Structure 1
Amino acid sequence: MALIKSISGIYGTIGGRSGDTLSPLDIVKLTSAFAQFIHGKKIVVGRDGRMSGLMVRHIVVGTLTGMGYDVIDIGYASTPTTELAVRMTGADGGVVITASHNHSEWNGLKLLNREGEFLTSSDVSELVALLELENFDYADSTQLGHLTVDETFNQRHIDTVLNLNLVDVEGIRRRKFRVCVDTINSVGGIILPQLFQALGVDYEILNGECTGAFVHNPEPVENNLLGIINRMKQGHFDLGIVVDSDVDRLVFICEDGMMFGEEYTLVSVADYVLSHTPGNTVGNLSSTRALRDVTLLRGGQYYACPVGEVNVTAKMKEVGAVIGGDSNGGVIFPECHYGRDALVGIALFLSCLAQRKCKVSELRSTFPCYQIAKNSINLMSNTDVDSIFERVKGSFQKDHSVTISDTDGLKIDFVDRWVYLRKSKTEPVVRVYSEAVTMERADNLGNQFMHLFYDTQKDMLLSAIHSDYGPVM
C-alpha cells in the first residue's frame, strides 16, 4: 500500500518494496526531508510499542545525527509525552514513531514543530516537495550530531498533569476509584500505571505488556473492546478506560459495561472545565452537537473546524478556547499543551467524578443524548466528489432553516439533526456521519444522503453522456 502523507503524520505498512510501504529507504528519505524542513539543531524522538518501532527508531536516529542534529531519544513514550518533551527541552522539532490506531503491521512518523504541535497542511506540502527533490545535504564526520537517551519524560508528563489547576488530586484519592484499563500492548501499559499510582487509583490492566503484538484491533471502538466490556460487566470497577497505541485517544466505559461513547469523552471533560473556567470550546465538524449544547449552557461559544488535530488547535488559539478536541476521544487542554492527551483527559474526568460524587453512568445521563451513525460510500477512481458535493449543496441552499458548511467536505445542519459527508484522505471512500436523537433517525438521515449522493452521481453521468452522444434512448 502506498504511503499516506497527511497533517496527522506519514504512515505505511512495514515490509515490501520501497515506495509502496514504509521501507527503511523511505524512512531515511522522510527523516531527511523533515530535518531539512526544520532548520534547527535538536530533535526529540519517542516511539510507541510497535514491534517495528526499534528498527524505525535506529533509522530515524541515525539519519538525524547524520544530518548533524543532536537527538534526544526519550524511549517508549506516548504522542503527548513526546509533544511535551519538545517544549521542555527547547528542541526544534520532534518525531513520534507510531501509526496511532492502525494495525500492528503499520508504523509511521508523526512530525512535530518546535512548539510540540503537528505540522500544518502548508508545512506538509513543503516537506513533500523536499521529499520529492531528494536533494539532501548530510554532515561530514566532524559535524555529526550527538545522541542523548533520556527516559525521564513519562514522569515529567505525569507531574505536569498532576499540577494542573483543575486536577483534583486529593479528591480523586479520597474516592478510592477502582478502574479497569485496556492499553492494547503499547506505551499506555507503561505510563498509565504510573499515573494511577500517583493519583491513588486502584487499577487492573488488560493487554498491558508493551510488546506491540496487539491482542485486538487497536482502534478504541466498541466492536474491538469486548474483552474489557465483559470484564466491566462483572461489576468490580467504577470505570473502564481504553486508549490507543500512542495514548492520544481516550474512551470510557460505564461501571455496568455500557459504552460512555467516544464522542462524549470531550463533552464530559469540557463540561467539567467550563463549570470552573467559563469560556469557548472547539470541536471538529463531526463532533456531537452535545458539545455545542453544554458550551452554550455554560455561557460560552462553540466553534467547529475541519477534521485534524492541527486544525482544532489553530481554531482554539484563534478564539481563545479553554478546552477542545475531536469526536474520537481526543481532549486538548491548552493549560497543559495544544495536543490530544489521554492522561489529561483521565485526570480531569476522575476529578469531575470525585467532585460530583456520582457514578459514570449517572454522569453520562446528565448530558444531551444524541446518536451518531457512521457509514461510508465506496468510490470509483473517476468519481468527481467535489462536483457531487456542490450539486447536493445546491439542493439545500434555498432552505433557510438549514446551515451549510463546505470548508471540509459537506455538512448540513438541520434544526434537530445533521449529516456530514467527507472524502477520506486514507481510503477511496466518502465518510457519512449523521446525528439525531435516536440511532434510527440518524441511520435514516445517513441513508438518505447516501442515496442522494448516488442519484446525483448517476444524473451527472447521464448528463455527460447526453452532452457527448445526444439523448440516450
Structure 2
Amino acid sequence: MTLIKSISGIRGLIDESLNPSMIARYAQAFSLISPNHGKILLARDTRNSGKEYIQIAISALERISRKSIVVDIVPTPTAQFEVFSKGYAGGIVFTASHNPSDWNGIKFIGPEGTFINQEAFNRLEDEFKNLSNTEFLENLDDKQMFKDESIDCINAHLFNIENLSIINKNKIKKNNFKVVVDCANGATSIALPQILKNLGCKVIKINSNYNEDFGRSPEPIPKNLSQLCSKVIETGSDIGFATDPDGDRLSIVDNKGKALGEEITLALSIYYVLKYFKKFRNVPIVTNLSTSLISEKIASKYNTRLMRSSVGEINVVNLMQKECALIGGEGNGGVILAESHLGRDSLVGAAIILNLISNESLSINELFNLLPKFYIEKSTVHLTNSSDVYIKKLKELYSNDNIDEKDGLKIIRDNEWVHIRKSNTEPILRIIAESKSIERSKQLIEEIKNEIK
C-alpha cells in the first residue's frame, strides 16, 4: 500500500503503509528541518494508534536530544495555536483527518503555527530518506510515559477565541442558544462543547466522546449528518455543528434540520466580518480556486476584493500573509482568522456563526436564505496519462474563456466555473463545477469528461 504524501501531510493504513519505524524517522526528520532550539509539540486525534505514535516520537526525538511536549488529544487548530503562542520549534499531529479509523497520518506544523510549505516538505522528505530504516527497529520505546497537557492547551485556545475583537461573548450569552454538536467522537469532543457552554449555550451532544469509532462517516458533508439533522429537529435546537475528527472543518445544520453544506461556513463568516467590521473591507479575502462563488458575491457586495490561491491550507495561508488578509479559508468548512492563528479552525468558525445569529436576530435558516444560491458538483476521472496531457487539451479547447492555470485549469465564466486539477493524493483528475443550478453544474462536468475521453 502506497503512502499518501502531500503538503497536507502524510496518510496511510495503520501497520501497512504507516508503521512505527516510519513514525520515528519522520519525527527525527522533522526535528532536523526545524529550528535548533525549542520543543516539538506532539498531538493526536482519537485514533488509538496515535497514542503509540506519540510514545515512539518521544523516544525518537530523545535520541537526537530534542525535547518534546505532549498535548495528546486536541484539535489540530488548537495544536497550531499552541505552537505559535508558546514559541515551540514545531508540532507533529497524528491524524488522518476525515479518513476512516483504520488510517492514520502526520501533519507537520512550523514555528509560526502553520503547516509546512512545499519547500519545507521537500527538505523533510530528503532528511527522511537519509535516515536509516533499520536503526529504528531496535530498542524502539513505544511505552514512553508522558504528562497530558491537553486541557490547559484547549483552555488557552478557547480563551483566545472568546476574547477576539470580533466576538461579543456577552451578546451571544444573552441568547441562550440551544446547540447540537456532532464531533465524530474526535478531537473537538471536549473543546467544542466547552466553548459553546462558555458562550452561554445549552449543548446537546451526539458522537462527542473520545473514541476511534467515529459514530458516522467522518467527513462533515450533508450526506453524513443525518443523525445531527434529526437531533436538531427532535430537540428544537437553534443550530447544529459538525466537525471532522481533527477539528479544522465545521459544517452547519440549520434550525429546520437541513445540512447547509460546508461551503456555507466560510460564506457566513465572511458575511459577518464584512458587514460588522469595516477594517475587513480594506484588505482582500483569501480562499482557494475551488471555493464557492457565494463567498465571492458577498465580498463584492461590500466592495472587497476576493483572491484565490491553489488548493491546500498552506497555499491560502501564504497568500493571506502576502496580502495582509484578516480572514480566509477553504470551502470545506475551514475558516482562517488571522487574529487568532493562521489555520483552519472549527472553534473560531462556531463562535463567529453564533455572533452573526446574535447580531442579526434571525434564525440560521433565515440567514441562509438571504445568501446568493450557487451549486457545486464534483466528479473524478482515473488518470491513464499524465494530467498535463488532459490539461493541455482542455486549455486549447477553452482558449476563448477566462482561464486560471495556477492549480490545474480553471475555466471561469459569468456565474459559473469548472476547475480541473490532479489530486494530491490519488491517481485521479478532480473535476469541480459550480453554477446557478445543480443540472447546469452536472452538465459542465459531463462536457469536460466528454472532451478528455
TM-score by length of 1: 0.90
Partner residue in 2 for 1:213: 213
Q: CA deviation at 1:164?
A: 0.2
Q: CA deviation at 1:235?
A: 5.6
Contact 1:179 1:237 in 2 (8 A): yes
Partner residue in 1 for 2:166: 166
1:80 aligns with 2:77: yes
1:377 aligns with 2:381: yes
Q: C-alpha offsets along residues 157-177 of structure 1, whole Å, 9 cap, x if unaligned?
A: 000000101111111111111
How far apart in 2 are the matches of 1:122 and 1:188?
Answer: 30
Which residue type is aligned with residue 36 of structure 1? L
Structure 2 CA distance for partners of 1:87 and 1:148, relative to 1, 3 Å:
farther
Which residue type is aligned with residue 286 of structure 1? S
1:326 aligns with 2:323: no
1:40 aligns with 2:36: yes
Given candidates 287, 290, 294, the residue that maps to 1:290 is: 294
Q: CA deviation at 1:230?
A: 2.0
Secondary structure in structure 2 of the residue aligned to 1:111: strand
Partner residue in 1 for 2:223: 223
Q: CA deviation at 1:233?
A: 3.2
- Which sits farther off after the overlay, 228-237 or 239-248? 228-237
Which aligned pairs between 1:121-160 and structure 2 lie closer than 5 A?
121-134=118-131, 149-151=148-150, 152-160=152-160
- The RMSD of aligned alpha carbons is 1.7
Consecutive unaligned residues in structure 2, runs of 5 or more: 137-143
How far apart in 1 are the matches of 2:452 and 2:321?
Answer: 35
Q: CA deviation at 1:147?
A: 6.5
Partner residue in 1 for 2:139: none
Contact 1:14 1:22 in 2 (8 A): yes
1:114 aligns with 2:111: yes
Structure 2 CA distance for partners of 1:189 and 1:148, relative to 1, 3 Å:
closer
Given candidates 25, 29, 35, the residue that maps to 1:29 is: 25
Secondary structure in structure 2 of the residue aligned to 1:35: helix
Consecutive unaligned residues in structure 1, runs of 5 or more: 139-144, 455-473
Which residue type is aligned with residue 124 of structure 1? F
Contact 1:187 1:247 in 2 (8 A): yes
How far apart in 2 are the matches of 1:120 and 1:169?
Answer: 35
Contact 1:183 1:243 in 2 (8 A): yes
Secondary structure in structure 1 of the residue aligned to 2:452: helix
Q: CA deviation at 1:322?
A: 1.8
Identity %: 32
Partner residue in 2 for 1:7: 7
Q: CA deviation at 1:150?
A: 2.5
Q: CA deviation at 1:67?
A: 1.8
Which residue type is aligned with residue 307 of structure 1? V
How far apart in 2 are the matches of 1:148 and 1:258?
Answer: 42
Q: CA deviation at 1:148?
A: 5.9
Given candidates 389, 393, 396, the residue that maps to 1:394 is: 396
Secondary structure in structure 2 of the residue aligned to 1:218: coil
- Which sits farther off after the overlay, 293-302 or 225-234? 225-234
Q: CA deviation at 1:228?
A: 1.1
Partner residue in 2 for 1:71: 68
Q: CA deviation at 1:234?
A: 2.9
Which residue type is aligned with residue 83 of structure 1? Q
Secondary structure in structure 1 of the residue aligned to 2:303: coil
Secondary structure in structure 2 of the residue aligned to 1:348: helix
Which residue type is aligned with residue 215 of structure 1? G
1:355 aligns with 2:354: no
Which residue type is aligned with residue 228 of structure 1? L
Partner residue in 2 for 1:409: 408
Aligned residues: 439
Secondary structure in structure 2 of the residue aligned to 1:245: coil
1:335 aligns with 2:339: yes
Structure 2 CA distance for partners of 1:439 and 1:235, relative to 1, 3 Å:
farther
Q: C-alpha offsets along residues 70-95 of structure 1, whole Å, 9 cap, x if unaligned?
A: 11111211101101111222111011
TM-score by length of 2: 0.94
How far apart in 2 are the matches of 1:105 and 1:425?
Answer: 20
Contact 2:185 2:214 in 1 (8 A): yes
